[in-house]
Amino acid sequence: MPFPWWLLKTKKTTFGLALVVTLLVAVFRKINRPPSHLRHLPYISFYTFFKAIIKDITIDRFSKDIVLPVMKRSPGAFVCSTVGYWGIMLTDPIAIKQFLMKPDMFPKAEINQGQPGTLIHRFVGGANIVMLNGTDWKRHRKVAHSYTFKVRHMKLTLRHSSVPQIVNPAFNRAMPIRLFGELTQQLFQAMDCTSSVDVLDVVTRMTLDTIGRAGFGFDFNSLADPANEWVTVYNDVKAALMDPFFLVCPVFDTTLVNWFPKRAQKHQQMTRFLAMLDTIIEAKRHHLETVEEEENRDLLTLMIESEQEGQATLTNEELRKNLCIFFFAGQDTTAFTLSFMIYELAVNQALQDRARQEAIEILGDASSDVLPSAEQTKQMTYINAVIKETMRLHNPVLNTTAREGQVYIPKGALVCADMSDLHRNPLVWHDPYRFDPERFLPGGEAERQPAGSGWTWAPFSNGGRICVGMNFSLAEQRVVLSMLLRKYTWTLPKDSIHRDGLVTNGLAFGIISTSNLKVDFKPRY
């Protein structure tokens, strides 16, 4: 009887399949769990995180169903996979305060910038106020002279000598309240074309015009002409930055980018956009050499003037990179917050009425637009509470950029302050998923937090690296919301996909957005 060679082949095939399956299981287990030095903390598996992204669940649902059970097992911190790395996510306000107060012990990690040569790195990487560390960062922005903190019962004091600063003075001096009001009037013109308004679309166009004019004196004219050349170039570049395929596989965005002609075209658009900024910077320098002082100065002008006053020097490339960061960190985040705020007041009519009453008390009820003054924006107690509560419940940025731990955690571990889940932490906030501006009124829950409870509200981060544009953004929001309240009443359409709660996305990249947010506006005059 001949030997059954077919049986041997079958066994080989079976063995081969078994080996492949074994290898795949091993690889899956490796990527599904955090590195061994982080497994002492509860974690959200890569599979769980990835499945949530594929199913496109909302931020609130992810927080309630996935993060909250992990937080109950570990109230202060947990480990989670994001796009590109495993990180320790802090949700305890005391731990977050300690973390954010020590930028030298937790320097920004290079992974935040993407790999050199990628589209994301060309836009936000390199020498700018967000990504730099150490003395280079201090040259852009001054830090405190000294501070004291505890690390495992050891009292330490770190001292910093006073250093020149450029970006801080520019933001402190650039508060174009009137420009905010004028652009809000242009927003009204764009809204009046239809009663049902795509809120995120029009507000994003307005914030682009704001960044352009207040940042470097350039008018994108996005509200009046949303399809013009530079708006199209910028929007194409912005959309391409967050393409998940190229973020996960950066080799195809650099060495092998020519394999993807459409991606190569985005790089060409990025080159055009950056060249436009370079031209503006050079023209601004030349202009300031011949003009003593301008009445309405943008951020770029103020940064260059800070150089002339002896407050250190930034190269043209550094100025351009800071302008790019202002775009990346300031345009969409403010637009999203305003959109979420409009939504919450649409579904909470009593709160909208109360906010409107305050706007009328401060600005009057004449049948014409009123542009608030800087002093009037400071009187908007309830409107400010609405803004703060919106940023607590719907903060557009989920967590801080990753920092690399140097002390009392495994060295090299990446750490973030999880602002979204800090703001939803039931150990910190009562009924945290309910929208309630009362929390931020005098004597409200925010003020009643126990002494030593840490930082419980941190939508702009905090500490030495707090967002330099915080006051700029808050002032813009006060102006826009108060003028909207005087001009319109608004409601959510009955067929809105957001009737049962705001539908958000952006879990993969840490910036919350939404879509199809249409609101019905009715003019009051």
Alpha helices in 37-118 (DSSP H): 46-54, 59-62, 68-73, 93-100
- The CATH code belonging to domain 92-413+435-523 is 1.10.630.10
**Annotated binding residue 324:** no
The token pair at 460 is 């702009």
Helix (H, G, I), strand (E, B) or coil at 80: strand
**Dihedral (Cα; 482, 485, 488, 494), 10-degree rounding:** 130
pLDDT tens track of the chain, all 525 residues? 555 554 455 656 666 666 666 667 666 666 788 888 888 889 999 889 888 988 888 999 999 999 999 998 888 899 998 766 788 999 999 999 988 888 878 888 877 778 899 999 999 887 777 666 677 666 665 533 333 333 333 333 333 333 345 555 555 555 899 999 999 999 999 998 777 999 999 999 999 999 999 989 999 999 999 999 999 999 999 999 888 888 888 999 999 999 999 999 999 999 999 999 999 999 999 888 877 666 668 888 888 887 666 556 778 888 898 898 888 888 889 999 999 999 999 999 999 999 999 999 999 999 999 999 999 999 999 999 999 999 999 999 988 888 886 655 777 888 999 999 999 999 999 999 999 999 999 999 999 988 788 999 999 998 878 888 899 999 999 999 999 999 999 999 999 999 999 999 888 778 889 999 999 999 999
Give which of 403, 422, 376 is closest to 107, Cα–Cα. Answer: 403
Residues β-bridged to residue 198: 518
DSSP 8-state secondary structure symbol assigned to residue 67: I
Give dist(CA 522, CA 510) in Å, integer.
Answer: 34
Query: Under the phi-then-psi rule, with left for phi > 0, alpha for psi from -120 to 50, and beta for the rest, what region is 169?
Result: alpha
Residues β-bridged to residue 417: 90
DSSP 8-state secondary structure symbol assigned to residue 460: T
Element (H, E) at 217: none
pLDDT computed for residue 195 by the predictor: 77
Residues β-bridged to residue 88: 79, 415
Please state, as a whole number, how many other Cβ atoms lie within 10 Å of the Cβ of residue 83: 15
Please state, as a whole number, how many other Cβ atoms lie within 10 Å of the Cβ of residue 341: 25
pLDDT computed for residue 295 by the predictor: 64
Phi/psi of residue 240, each to 5°?
A: -70, -25
Give dist(CA 422, CA 442) in Å, integer.
Answer: 21
Residues β-bridged to residue 44: 80
Please state, as a whole number, how many other Cβ atoms lie within 10 Å of the Cβ of residue 30: 10
What residue type is assigned to position 10 of the chain? T
Which residues, at least 6 apart from 176, have a Cβ–Cβ distance to it below 8 Å? 213, 214, 296
Say what angle helices 349-363 and 381-393 make with each other, to 10 degrees.
Answer: 140
pLDDT computed for residue 362 by the predictor: 98
Element (H, E) at 233: helix 229-241
Helix (H, G, I), strand (E, B) or coil at 26: helix
Which residues, at least 6 apart from 358, have a Cβ–Cβ distance to it below 8 Å? 380, 381, 382, 383
pLDDT computed for residue 27 by the predictor: 62
Q: For tokens 């930055």, name the residue.
A: 241
pLDDT computed for residue 15 by the predictor: 60
pLDDT computed for residue 9 by the predictor: 55
Residues β-bridged to residue 488: 523
Alpha helices in 242-372 (DSSP H): 244-248, 261-290, 299-308, 316-347, 349-363
